[in-house]
Structures are given as C-alpha cells and as structure tokens.
Amino acid sequence: MPITKTIRVDLPGRAYEVAVGTDLLAEAGRRIAARAARAVIVTDSNVGPLVAAALVEAVVAAGAATEVIEFTAGEAHKNLDTYRDVMDRLLGLSDPPDRATLLVACGGGVVGDLAGFVAATALRGLDFVNVPTTLLADVDASVGGKTGVDAPAGKNLIGAFHQPKEVIIDAAVLKTLPDAELGNGLAECVKHAVIRDAGLLDFIVENAQAFRERRAAALADLIARNVAIKAAVVAADEREAGQRAHLNLGHTFGHAIEAAAGYTLGHGACVSLGLVAACGIAAGRGLIAPADADRVRDALAALDLPVRFDDAPSLPAEAKDTNRLREIMAHDKKARAGVVRFILPTALGAAEVFDDVTDAEVRAAVAALDG
Amino acid sequence: MPITKTIRVDLPGRAYEVAVGTDLLAEAGRRIAARAARAVIVTDSNVGPLVAAALVEAVVAAGAATEVIEFTAGEAHKNLDTYRDVMDRLLGLSDPPDRATLLVACGGGVVGDLAGFVAATALRGLDFVNVPTTLLADVDASVGGKTGVDAPAGKNLIGAFHQPKEVIIDAAVLKTLPDAELGNGLAECVKHAVIRDAGLLDFIVENAQAFRERRAAALADLIARNVAIKAAVVAADEREAGQRAHLNLGHTFGHAIEAAAGYTLGHGACVSLGLVAACGIAAGRGLIAPADADRVRDALAALDLPVRFDDAPSLPAEAKDTNRLREIMAHDKKARAGVVRFILPTALGAAEVFDDVTDAEVRAAVAALDG
C-alpha cells in the first residue's frame, strides 16, 4: 500500500479523511470513481500535463466519466475572471452538471482555492475532492475548507468555507516542484512546529537535505505530521473564532510584506520573514527565550528561506517601510475595528493571540529584519 | 408594538428570527444598530428611493454608521457582473469592511439573493440581515438561506446557502408594490397552502380583496402564516435532501415555462401555471379529487393569476411546447442523472416526491393548460 497515513479532519457533519502517501494516483482514481459516476477535474496549465493527465487516466480506468477544465497557471489568475470562466465552462458542458457531479481539484493552492470556490458555489454547492500537487497546498490549503479568489482590494477577500469530501496527497508528484515552491511549503511546516510541536522543528532541520532531494518517503512523513497538526486545529475551531487564529503566526507581517511588495515575493518567503518578526517580538516580551527565536530563524535559514530583508534582494523599499506595513495590517480582514491582532509564540510549540502589540514593538521587529 | 408575529427558523447553530409586522422600519433600524456598529445596505434603483432611504435614516438614528450600495433594478441584473460590481464597491470602501461589518439587503428577491451571495462570499462570510420589500421575497426568498445569481446556462445556478442573522418584514412597504409583483407572492402562498395547510387556501380566497387593496394588517397575517410554513419545512431539511423539495411544487413546470419563455413572463405567473399542471397530474392519478384541483385553480384565478396559457397572452409558442419543456426539465439542477422529479399533492395540505411521472402525464398536463 502506498498510503503512509490517513488523517481524519473531525468536523461535525462534514468530517473527511486526508490520505497521504507516495505513488497514489491510481488509488486516487479508484477513490474518485467510487464516489461519483462523473468527475470534472479542474487544473492549471502547469499541472495539467504533469499530473492531471495521469489522474484523468486513473479515474477513467476506474470507470468514471471525466472532463477536464484547465486554466492558465499563476497567482495572477486567482481572480473573479478565472472563477467566472471556469464556472461558465462547467455549467456550459454539453451534458450539464447536476448535484451528483463531483468536482476534483488537481494542482497547487491557486487551483484548490479556485476550484473549491467553484464547487462551493456551482448549483449552491457540489461535492469536492482535492488532489494537491505542491507542498504548500499539501500542508496548508488542503485542510480547512478555505476557498476563494483575490480581489482588486486584496488577497483572498472573496470566497467561502467549503470542506472537501476527501483529500488525496501524493508526495511523489513533488519531484517536479521548483525549489522556491518547496520552500513555500516548508515555511508553513516551521510555523506549525512553532505553534504546536517543537519536535517537528528538529525533524525538519534533520531532514532538510532529504526534502531538497524530493525524497518521497521523507516528504510523505513531513506532510502527514503537518496535516495532523492543521487538522487538529481546524477541527477545534472551524471558523477561526479561537485557536485557528494561531495558524496566522507570521502571517500578519507576512501578508503585509507580500502586499507592500505587490506580490512579487513568494508567500512562503514573506511568511518566513513574518515568523522571524513574530518570534522577535515574543523574545522581546520574554515569552520565549532569545535562543528559541534564534532556533526558529536558523531552521528557516537552513531551508533556504529569507530571514532578513537582504535575503530577498528583489524586495522593493515599500515592503520594508514600517508605516506602510502597519497601514496594510490595520486593513487586514482579520483586524477587528482597526485593532491588529498578532499571534506570538509563548513557548516553542505554543502560541496565543495578542491585541496589545505596540507600535514600538512593530518598529523594532521591522528594524531587526533590516539589520 | 407594530410586530404581528415573530417566527423562529430553527437551524442548529444558525437559528434566526423573522419579525413580521407593519410600520417596522424604525424598529428595523434599532435592531440593525444593536447588531453592528456599521452596516452596509445593499438595495436597487427601485427600492432605494422608496424604502432603503427610510431604512438608512432609521439605522443612522439608532446610532450605527451606514453606507449604501445601489445597483440597477431588474432580474436581468441578477448575474455575476452585478455581483462583482457590488463586491468591488463593498471591498473598495474607503474604510474597508471587516468581519464585524453587517450586510443588510433591502429589496425584493433579486436584492436578497444577490446581497446574500455577496455576504456569503465577502471575507468568506459576513453577517447578513434581510429586509425584504416584495410579497414574493417576504414569503419565499426571505427564509431558507438560498443566495445566488443567474448564469448564462440557467437561473440560480451560481450561489450558496447562507442563513441571515435576522429577517425584518414590514407589510406596510407593500403599499407601492405593483399588481403583478403582488400576484407573484400570492402564487407562492397558494403553493404553501397546497403542500401544508388547506385552511390557508380558504384564508387567501376570503381575503383576496384586502390583499389587492394592500391592507397592511391582512398582508402581515398572510406573511406570518406563510413564513411559519416555510420555516418549518426549511428547519426540517436545510439542504433539500427531503421535504424541502415539496417547496418545488409547481416549480418543475414553472421553471421550464419561465426558461422557455426567455424569462418574459413573471415567476409567479409561471408557478401558477405549474401548480395547475401538478394538481392536474395528481388528480389524474387519483391522489387528490378533481374538485380539489379545481379549488386550487379557482383560488389562483381569483388572485388574477394565469391558470391556462391563454391567460398569459405574451407567452411565446416555445413555452407551450411539451418537447421543449421536457428538455429543460431534464437539465434542471434538481434533476439527478436526467430523472425529473415532480412534487405532487397527495391531499390538499400534503405532498410527496414522484420520480415516475410519465411522458403521457406531462403531455396531458400541458394540453390541459392549452385547452
């Protein structure tokens, strides 16, 4: 059996399983065909030829009717134009979809978010199976049910919560993943370690080389550990009223840097800088030891992620400007009535929400990144 | 107190109340301001000057910050273009909305469906209060959480289930409602009577003149009875797995006629024809007595609703063509794998789902409408 581990995401009435393993596409085909007589697979122009074509073969071999909707790859296409295009193509199929039609996402975070939003809103909700193909999508977007697209006013401002029926993660497909994409996923793994599992930080550092070599078994272990962390957090708090907010560690700074840079720097790189900033503030408050903050920073650096602004030479000046970053933070959709909430580690493996981070602390954290 | 009745819609975790009464706008303002420091009111170009302006005054008088987003009235604007326009204006407000921002719909079914869909998908879900202003929206769209827009491939194909936090229905605002709009709402009231409450049919016939004169007290009673029926059905079956399907009585035929006519005939008129057709099939099967079918038809006629094709002279020939109607029914989003499901009354006040309605029965029902 190529399945390493199956993790249950325990949401009342909408529980589902995440299967993690290697060389899982044939198994994915059987599972999809067992679920529906007809599947529409949504993918992008990068993943289509690399992975989705093999998935389609597997689904057809397992006996289900299959159609493919492919859109142009790239974050820039995660918008209402693409949503509408995919929706119109789905609803306009010569044999129109009905409520028994299964939607399958095969791709990275953009595909999962966009196809998930189409599934959430076509015929007021179609069943949805996610087959993510990037490490970031595997450990982050694949669990939690967040779907959506970007708006002119900001990222992920339009969307819905729509839980998949099943997630099937094949670590072997990561062999073609570019280095920067791998790093994006690893940044979220470090975040999970900081908020819930200090031992995971050691595991990541010890296996950094195996991850860089795309060794499927090591990646499957990493993915399974991270999916389990995210599943536990989401199951405890589906709608982000409480502890799910901890998953935003590093993201208040990270999103602000990403937006100030006009989305020219990858999400994971921005989160990495955000994790360093949050750990810096936590160390400054005595919540964690300075040595713990250093340990996180060194782990990120070992994974080739930026830990100072200089590590990302393409970053424009606005993205290093405290005033600009604070302005963006105040308008973050997670801000309430303008109060910016920060997640800070209270130990390695634990975190809490803070509403009282001062301007001076933010300035010091930005200055440290610039140091 | 102007409140006639408060009906609780009992959905686990998302229960809400529908307040029905007369001259309720000041009370609506207080309730909205009690719920949020900031409300964005979505309305259309018809309702804006007539009702929404007064609601805005009431909300401001009650102490909440208020902004208005108005779009051009009409079914033709219930599409992704208008959705996107309203969404962009909401997200682009100079003080951008956050998760504490309340969205308020003030208008008919198009406004409620569209604003509800914006609420369902802005920042992955904002709280939503509905202040419907047509009888159809009062007794039908205001309860059940269906939100969405039309697609090129068909009506209501894009949307989400998103329950309001509260619905406030002022029967006094119906004084400016055009006759045809009033009839649209009355058709749904007859439908409710047929599936759940034979006594309501008598009440409707007895008060037909009071409704035509827009007497607010009589309309408030009618609305309260109908909201209670719909609330009970929806609470028992939020996602249309079972008895909620009964609300589609008359709608399989009705939607097909509406689509075949290119949406040139009102929804209520089409439903009225659909109710006659469904009751005719039921009488033909001996499920109800021919006299019961006559009673429903006579009630619809007393309300100035069409009960034969000739009562709607504008109806194009395609909308009377059995083959065309059957083709549209087979592609209805409620069809499963091409099998058309009909709701038929099994007595006045009761209904069931039937998958075995024959081609001959459909032809006979259409022929009777043409007789």
Amino acid B69: pLDDT: 98
Residue B33, amino acid: A
Lowest average pLDDT, out of A155-169, A318-332, B64-78, goes to A318-332
A125 and B331: CB-CB below 8 Å?
no
Largest CA distance in chain B: 63
pLDDT at A1 over 60: no
Q: Evaluate whether ipTM surpasses 0.90.
A: no
For residue A290, give every residue at least 6 positions away whose Cβ sits within 8 Å of its Cβ, in sequence order, or none. A283
**Predicted confidence (pLDDT) per residue in A177-212, tens digit:** 998 899 999 999 999 999 999 999 999 999 999 998
pLDDT at A335 over 70: no
Answer for the pair B105, B116: CB distance below 8 angstroms, yes or no: yes
Mean pLDDT over residues B126-153, rounded?
Answer: 95
- Whether B267 sits among the annotated catalytic residues: the reply is yes
Residue A134, amino acid: T
* Residue A337 confidence class, pLDDT cut points 50, 70, 90: low
- Kindly state the percentage of chain B with pLDDT values over 70: 97
Q: Return the number of CB contacts < 8 Å for A and B.
A: 95
A249 touches chain B (CB under 8 A): no
Answer for the pair A122, A110: CB distance below 8 angstroms, yes or no: no
* CA A339 to chain CA centroid, nearest Å: 25
- Whether B240 sits among the annotated catalytic residues: the reply is yes
Residue B46 DSSP SS3: coil
Amino acid A270: pLDDT: 96
Answer for the pair A254, A188: CB distance below 8 angstroms, yes or no: no
Residues of A in contact with B153 (CB under 8 A): 88, 91-92, 96
Mean pLDDT over residues A62-84, rounded?
Answer: 97
Amino acid A331: pLDDT: 77
The torsion angles phi and psi of A276, rounded to 5 degrees, stand at: -60, -45
Lowest average pLDDT, out of A88-97, A129-138, A322-331, B118-127, goes to A322-331
Rounded Cα distance between B150 and B113, Å, is: 10
A99 and B336: CB-CB below 8 Å?
yes
The torsion angles phi and psi of B126, rounded to 5 degrees, stand at: -110, 155
Rounded Cα distance between A170 and A31, Å, is: 13
Model-level pTM?
0.89
Q: Which residues pair with B161 in a beta bridge?
A: B146
Which residues, numbered 45 to 104 in chain B, qualify as contacts with chain A under a Cβ-Cβ cut-off of 8 Å? 80, 84, 87-88, 91-92, 96, 98-100
The torsion angles phi and psi of A286, rounded to 5 degrees, stand at: 75, 15
Amino acid B282: pLDDT: 98
Rounded Cα distance between A258 and A272, Å, is: 11
Answer for the pair B200, B227: CB distance below 8 angstroms, yes or no: no
Partner-chain residue, chosen from B148, B153, B336, that has the shortest CB–CB distance to A98: B336
Q: Please give the full DSSP string across B242-257, using - where no structure is assigned.
A: SGGGGGGTTHHHHHHH
Partner-chain residue, chosen from B37, B91, B154, that has the shortest CB–CB distance to A151: B91
For residue B45, give every residue at least 6 positions away whose Cβ sits within 8 Å of its Cβ, in sequence order, or none. B70, B71, B72, B73
**Predicted confidence (pLDDT) per residue in B207-249, tens digit:** 999 998 999 999 999 999 999 999 999 888 877 667 889 999 9
Rounded Cα distance between B187 and B301, Å, is: 10
Closest chain B CA to residue A152:
B88
pLDDT at B48 over 80: yes
Cα B145 to Cα A290, B97, B169, B237, distances in angstroms: 51, 22, 16, 12
Which residues, numbered 128 to 187 in chain A, qualify as contacts with chain B under a Cβ-Cβ cut-off of 8 Å? 146, 148, 151-154, 156-161
The torsion angles phi and psi of A142, rounded to 5 degrees, stand at: -75, -20
B125 and A160: CB-CB below 8 Å?
yes
Answer for the pair B283, B289: CB distance below 8 angstroms, yes or no: yes
**What domains, with CATH codes, occur in chain A?**
3-177 (3.40.50.1970), 183-213+249-369 (1.20.1090.10)
Instruction: Identify from A11, A84, A149, A157 which residue to disrupt to test chain B contact, counting B C-beta atoms within 10 A and taking the largest count.
Output: A157
A121 and B121: CB-CB below 8 Å?
yes
Mean pLDDT over residues A95-118, rounded?
Answer: 96
Mean pLDDT over residues A10-37, rounded?
Answer: 95
- Whether B35 sits among the annotated catalytic residues: the reply is no
- Whether B192 sits among the annotated catalytic residues: the reply is no
Partner-chain residue, chosen from B124, B146, B151, that has the shortest CB–CB distance to A161: B124
Lowest average pLDDT, out of A2-11, A198-207, A332-341, B57-66, goes to A332-341
Residue B156 DSSP SS3: strand
Amino acid A363: pLDDT: 94
Residues of B in contact with A331 (CB under 8 A): 96
Burial class (CB in 10 A: 0-12, 13-18, 19+), B32: buried
Instruction: Identify from A83, A101, A124, A327 which residue to disrupt to test chain B contact, counting B C-beta atoms within 10 A and taking the largest count.
Output: A124
Rounded Cα distance between A160 and B327, Å, is: 33
pLDDT at B128 over 90: yes
Answer for the pair B170, B28: CB distance below 8 angstroms, yes or no: yes
Amino acid B29: pLDDT: 97
Which carries the bigger pLDDT value, residue A93 or residue B242? Answer: A93
- Whether B124 sits among the annotated catalytic residues: the reply is yes
What's the CA dihedral at B289, B295, B300, B303 to 10 degrees? Answer: -170
Mean pLDDT over residues A146-169, rounded?
Answer: 96
The active-site residue, picked from B191, B214, B246, B251, is: B251
pLDDT at A239 over 80: no
**B296 vs chain A: nearest CA distance in angstroms?**
31
Rounded Cα distance between B349 and B195, Å, is: 5
**Which residues of A are identified as catalytic?**
124, 146, 188, 230, 240, 244, 248, 251, 255, 267
Size of chain A in residues: 371
* Residue A57 confidence class, pLDDT cut points 50, 70, 90: very high
In chain B, count H helices and then E strands. Answer: 15, 11
Rounded Cα distance between A143 and A18, Å, is: 8
* Residue B335 confidence class, pLDDT cut points 50, 70, 90: low
B367 touches chain A (CB under 8 A): no
Look at strands B16-21 and B166-170 and give their pairing: parallel
pLDDT at B1 over 60: no
Answer for the pair B40, B67: CB distance below 8 angstroms, yes or no: yes
Amino acid B339: pLDDT: 75
Answer for the pair B139, B229: CB distance below 8 angstroms, yes or no: no
Residues of B in contact with A101 (CB under 8 A): none
Rounded Cα distance between B49 and B170, Å, is: 16
Residue A151, amino acid: A
* CA A191 to chain CA centroid, nearest Å: 11
Tokens representing B95? 């003080």
Residue B5, amino acid: K
* Residue A310 confidence class, pLDDT cut points 50, 70, 90: very high
Amino acid A122: pLDDT: 98
Q: Residue B197's closest CA among B242, B228, B218, B237? A: B228
The active-site residue, picked from B46, B184, B226, B248, is: B248
Q: Can you give the three-state secondary structure of chain A, one letter per residue?
A: CCEEEEEEECCCCCCEEEEEECCCHHHHHHHHHHHCCEEEEEEECCHHHHHHHHHHHHHHHCCCEEEEEEECCCHHHCCHHHHHHHHHHHHCCCCCCCCCCEEEEEECHHHHHHHHHHHHHECCCCCEEEEECCHHHHHHHCCCCEEEEEECCEEEEEEEECCCCEEEEEHHHHHHCCHHHHHHHHHHHHHHHHHHCHHHHHHHHHCHHHHHCCCHHHHHHHHHHHHHHHHHHHHHCCCCCCHHHHHHCCHHHHHHHHHHCCCCCCHHHHHHHHHHHHHHHHHHCCCCCHHHHHHHHHHHHHCCCCCCHHHCCCCCHHHHCHHHHHHHHHCCCCCECCECCEEEEEECCEEEEECCCCHHHHHHHHHHHCC
Rounded Cα distance between B195 and B229, Å, is: 9
B37 touches chain A (CB under 8 A): yes
* Residue B336 confidence class, pLDDT cut points 50, 70, 90: low
Residue B8, amino acid: R
Amino acid B338: pLDDT: 65
